Amino acid sequence: MVEDSQIAQSKAIQRRTGRTFHVATRFLPERVRYPTYVLYAFFRVADEIVDDAEGVPPEEQAAELESLRAQALGEQEPEGPVLAAFREIADEHGISDEEIDTFLDAMKSDIETSRYERYEDLETYMRGSASAVGVMMTEVMDPKRPEEAIPHAVALGEAFQMTNFIRDVREDVIDRDRIYLPEETLLDNGVQPEQIARLEFSPGVADAVRHELHRTEQLYQKGVAGIEYLPEDCQFPVVLSAVLYADHHRLIRACEYDVVNNEPSLSTARKLWLAARTRWHWQWNKDPVAVFHRASAVSLPEPPHSGRGAVDGVPTPD
């Protein structure tokens, strides 16, 4: 049984480091919300071993991740409340060792890898760093048909991470000397990777960012289409998560794709407004694709009438 103190510490970590996701998490039912705090805290503990490791030799970072792996897999006594709670959540919800390994392998690759030649290389990384997270979240939600839900969860996890990568180009260069924009996309648009490392903006950089935004919005389309396979009490929070993350695309377009000189960030007021707007649409029509289409900054094809609620004729709360 996960203790209240473990949940409280996990929640504090999410509130501090994942403010966008925290807004949507608060709408999850209690049976999913508390495990989500624990999962997110575990993800952050692993991520910070690499991201906050200035001056720590690579071999020490790798050893620390391997110790974390042993604790997460139940091979070693957990150190601290987050790892103890994660182990209980993993046992209770049947989170597979394979997904835990896949996630930690991606974290370990961050020690040595700071550039990605092709999108396929980045996609392989994201299968661990983002999609494994989506799979674990889906397992906690416990859908009736997980085999149908999980491929969409994989796509939505990639979409969220790609939004973060595009939004955080400047921060990743300054704080971590990392560039997640694929080199092939940069070169195809006449941009040398060194130009991003020097934080130099050009029309080619704008074109490269525009290209990756388009790719990411296709991932949102696939990911959101699978929300209907989740339990009904989890669908709105996941739609809201997608709306909140995708709203960064509006900010990126507003700064004319210059993410090397700007760090787009949603204000608290904007997040609350989007939550209210999404909830308003949800009360009229509980089709996740239709609601995302109407509430988000991403333009998706108008979904066909599914019989789940009215799509046309609903006024817009602007």
Which pLDDT does position 9 carry in this prediction?
A: 46
Crossing angle for the helix pair 169-176 and 146-167, to the nearest 10 degrees: 70
Residue 81 confidence (pLDDT): 86
Question: SS3 of 299, please?
Answer: coil
- Output the pLDDT for position 40: 86
Band (pLDDT 50/70/90 cuts) for residue 1 is very low
Token representation of residue 311: 């799509």
Give the tens place of pLDDT for each residue, 164-216: 999 999 999 999 999 999 999 999 999 999 999 999 999 999 999 999 999 99
pLDDT tens figures, 236-257: 999 999 999 999 999 999 999 9
Q: Estimate to the nearest angstrom the gap between the alpha carbon of 313 and the chain centroid.
A: 33
Beta-carbon contacts of 144 under 8 Å, excluding residues fewer than 6 positions away, are 229, 231
Least confident of 27-31, 102-106, 158-162, 255-259: 27-31
pLDDT value of position 17: 43
Report the C-alpha gap between 284 and 99 in whole angstroms. Answer: 37
With contact defined as beta carbons under 8 Å apart, do 72 and 83 qualify?
yes
Q: Tell me how far apart the alpha carbons of residues 288 and 285 are, in angstroms, rounded to a whole number.
A: 8
